[in-house]
């Protein structure tokens, strides 16, 4: 019952702001919360799951807290998603969809009914086959994450203010929820929609002290066209994760925000939000390796093992399984010495100080000109040229049974860079077979829902252009 | 400068930023109409407009620019 009592105790005295920056009256908040709970208890059978289709605002937070409290498995949906994705998720999960309009907000009786379902929520990842893959996350896994947050962030407290910019539907919003529940900080729901100026405006207006997001947003904030407008002086903690921490962002933080605590989080959805962390201290020898920023060490009750170069994860935060997909579950979960591990697919390295580094993806290893190369390695090498800001290398089947390497790059100053010069510079430290056959300068990369570079789109675009 | 003159000067900027020579903008054009109008291109757009009109937007002005019309009104006010 621990999770339920944490939620209930906090909500009676919570500081939650709606998307317009208005603080919700505490009694109103708790009444609305009880009304959502009552609706769920009356309408949802214990063995059913609920798909939350609320508007992006504070009531969304109340809805999944109500599900957590009762112990109803929930699936967060996003109204911005394509209709087809939502239909697929509903049909795969057989979940009951709920909206604000369904709820009778006058029904504010206190109820004490608990279903205690062991699966807390199901998050859908994109899945390589085009059909979303449902990750079933355990209540006990989330509780471990929550307790870890409470224990680790000792210098965050009820005076802090956090801006929630993450899409509901992407599990890292649960970082905000965990700090809201354990530290009792003020939580501001931002209706940030692809306008990074809105984040900056909110940070300044509400004097935000804590922000958790994907690295990409801070790459944009540190952009020379944006940064001069920003006032980030209120920020004390910036927590980044969900994608690779860019090397040049490391130096941007070192230069521009040396007093702010910057964290690099790591973890697949299958290991409940995040399962390792590193707080930057700008000790380059210890926290950088081949242009990768360390992901630090696993949280308590989580364990890392490097097996055949791949990072395996064990411990309390491991998912139960993929929804209705035994084959995929069997591929992903292995037993070694009777211990259950999740195969992350990430190629990892651990240094003498016990810091872990992700240096590539297992499925990024391809053959070209008879050699095995890892595409992430190539990216790391190319990034050592200081005029290159970001890179994504893909492999394209050249129809002769081999792969050609194609690198898409973003450079500091397009006008002064010639492809031949880049190739010449790369030849100084890379063997010929590792140098991409084609290098294309682009302004930006296609991103997926999680804010990561979508190499699949790059590949499809390349193939389209080739025809 | 009139709003129409501003819109005329915005047209080539939009075509350049979104890399589409056939793009036609009007006052009601917004991010939903242009698929490529994401966070990154939004930054490029703002930077290009500031350069073209030699103005500087504040965060307050940039945080909820609804559409091209609102953008043009703002530019008229600032130049």
**pLDDT at position A398:** 77
Which residue of B lies nearest to A205 if distances are taken between CA atoms? Answer: B60
Does residue B38 have a pLDDT over 80?
A: yes
Interface contact flag, B40 A220, Cβ < 8 Å: yes
Burial of A441 (0-12, 13-18, 19+ CB in 10 A): middle
Interface contact flag, B46 A225, Cβ < 8 Å: yes
pLDDT (tens place) for every residue of chain A, 467 residues total: 588 989 988 998 899 999 999 999 999 999 999 999 999 999 999 889 999 999 999 999 999 999 999 999 999 999 988 888 899 999 999 999 999 999 999 999 998 888 878 999 999 986 555 578 899 999 999 999 999 999 999 999 999 999 999 989 889 999 999 999 999 999 999 988 878 999 999 999 999 999 999 998 999 999 989 999 999 999 999 999 988 898 889 999 999 999 999 999 999 999 999 999 999 999 998 999 988 899 999 999 999 999 999 999 999 999 999 999 999 999 999 999 999 999 999 999 999 999 999 988 887 878 787 777 888 888 888 988 888 988 999 999 877 667 889 999 998 877 778 888 898 888 888 888 888 989 999 988 888 766 778 888 898 888 888 77
Q: Which residue has the tokens 């979508």?
A: A454
Q: Superfamily for A369-466?
A: ANL, C-terminal domain (3.30.300.30)
CATH T-level fold of A138-362? Rossmann fold (3.40.50)
Interface contact flag, A229 B41, Cβ < 8 Å: no
CB < 8 Å from B in window 242-301 of A: none
What one-character-per-residue DSSP string does A116-134 give?
A: --SEEEEEEE--TTSS-EE
- DSSP-based three-state secondary structure for A61: helix
Interface of B to A at Cβ within 8 Å reads: 19, 31, 37-44, 46-47, 57-60, 62-65
Q: Which residue has the tokens 């009762």?
A: A70
- 3-state per-residue secondary structure call for A230-294: CCCCCCCEEEECCCCCCHHHHHHHHHHCCCCEEEEEECCHHHCCCCEEEECCCCHHHHEECCEEC
A93 and A323 Cβ atoms separated by less than 8 Å:
yes
Q: Which residue has the tokens 């931002």?
A: A190
CA A56 – CA A62 distance, rounded (Å):
11
Instruction: Kindly report the number of other CB atoms within 10 A of residue A59's CB atom.
Output: 23
Pair of tokens at residue A330: 């069997």
Percent of chain B surpassing pLDDT 70: 100
Q: Which of B31, B38, B59 sits opposite A197 (nearest CB)?
A: B59
* Domains contained in chain B, CATH given: 3-78 (1.10.1200.10)
Dihedral of CA atoms B12, B18, B24, B29 in degrees, nearest 10, equals -110
pLDDT tens-digit profile of B49-62? Answer: 999 999 999 999 99
Interface contact flag, A444 B38, Cβ < 8 Å: yes
What is the CATH code of the structural domain delimited by A1-7+23-117?
3.40.50.980
Return the H-helix or E-strand segment holding A161.
Answer: strand A161-164
CA A315 – CA A299 distance, rounded (Å):
10
Interface contact flag, B62 A225, Cβ < 8 Å: no
Pair of tokens at residue A171: 């599990």
Q: Which of B40, B41, B60 sits opposite A201 (nearest CB)?
A: B60
CA A70 – CA A3 distance, rounded (Å):
10
Given CB atoms, is A204 within the 8 Å cutoff of chain B? yes
**pLDDT at position A162:** 98
Neighboring chain B residues of A220 at a CB cutoff of 8 Å: 39-40, 43
In chain A, where are the structural domains located?
Answer: 1-7+23-117, 138-362, 369-466
Please tell me if the domain spanning A138-362 has the same topology as the one spanning A369-466.
Answer: no
| Complex-level ipTM | 0.92
Interface contact flag, B46 A230, Cβ < 8 Å: no
CA A26 – CA A32 distance, rounded (Å):
10
Interface contact flag, B43 A223, Cβ < 8 Å: yes
A329 and A136 Cβ atoms separated by less than 8 Å:
no
């Amino acid at each position: 019952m621990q999770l339920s009592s944490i939620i209930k105790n906090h909500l009676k005295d919570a500081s939650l702001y709606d998307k317009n920056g208005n603080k919700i009256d505490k009694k109103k908040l708790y009444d609305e919360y009880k009304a959502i709970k009552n609706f769920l208890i009356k309408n949802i059978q214990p063995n059913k799951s609920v798909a939350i289709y609320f508007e992006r605002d504070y009531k969304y937070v109340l809805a999944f807290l109500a599900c957590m409290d009762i112990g109803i498995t929930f699936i967060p949906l996003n109204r911005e998603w394509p209709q087809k994705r939502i239909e697929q998720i509903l049909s795969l999960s057989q979940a009951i969809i709920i909206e604000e309009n369904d709820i009778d907000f006058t029904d504010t009786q206190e109820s004490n009914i608990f279903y205690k379902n062991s699966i807390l929520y199901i998050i859908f990842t994109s899945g390589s086959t085009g059909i979303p893959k449902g990750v079933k996350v355990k209540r006990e896994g989330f509780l471990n994450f929550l307790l870890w947050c409470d224990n680790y962030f000792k210098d965050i407290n009820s005076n802090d203010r956090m801006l929630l910019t993450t899409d509901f539907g992407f599990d890292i919003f649960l970082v905000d929820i965990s700090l809201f529940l354990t530290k009792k900080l003020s939580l501001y729901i931002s209706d940030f929609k692809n306008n990074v100026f809105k984040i900056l405006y909110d940070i300044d207006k509400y004097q935000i002290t804590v922000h958790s997001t994907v690295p990409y947003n801070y790459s944009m904030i540190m952009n020379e066209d944006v940064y001069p407008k920003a006032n980030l002086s209120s920020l004390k903690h910036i927590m980044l994760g969900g994608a690779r921490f860019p090397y040049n962002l490391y130096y941007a933080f070192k230069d521009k925000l040396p007093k702010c605590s910057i964290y690099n989080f790591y973890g697949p959805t299958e290991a409940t939000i995040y399962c390792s962390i590193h707080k930057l201290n700008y000790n380059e020898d210890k926290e950088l390796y081949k242009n990768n920023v360390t992901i630090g060490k696993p949280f308590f009750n989580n364990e890392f093992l490097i097996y055949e170069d791949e990072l395996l994860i064990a411990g309390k935060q491991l998912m139960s399984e993929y929804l209705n997909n035994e084959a995929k579950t069997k591929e992903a979960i292995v037993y070694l010495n009777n211990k259950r591990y999740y195969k992350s697919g990430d190629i990892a390295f651990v240094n003498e100080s016990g810091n872990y580094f992700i240096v590539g993806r297992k499925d990024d290893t391809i053959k070209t000109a008879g050699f095995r190369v890892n595409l992430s390695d190539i990216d790391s090498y190319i990034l050592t040229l200081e005029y290159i800001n970001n890179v994504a290398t893909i492999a394209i089947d050249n129809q002769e049974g081999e792969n050609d390497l194609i690198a898409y790059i973003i450079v500091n100053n397009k006008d002064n860079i010639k492809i031949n010069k880049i190739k010449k510079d790369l030849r100084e430290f890379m063997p010929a077979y590792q140098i991409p056959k084609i290098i294309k300068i682009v302004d930006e990369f296609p991103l997926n829902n999680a804010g990561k570079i979508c190499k699949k789109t790059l590949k499809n675009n390349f193939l389209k252009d080739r025809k | 400068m009139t709003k129409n003159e501003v819109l005329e000067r915005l047209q080539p900027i939009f075509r350049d930023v979104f890399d589409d020579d056939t793009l036609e903008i009007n006052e009601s054009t917004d991010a939903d109409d242009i698929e490529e109008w994401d966070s990154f291109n939004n930054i490029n757009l703002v930077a290009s407009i500031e350069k073209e009109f030699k103005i500087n937007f504040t965060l307050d002005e940039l945080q909820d620019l609804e559409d091209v019309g609102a953008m043009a009104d703002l530019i008229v006010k600032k130049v």
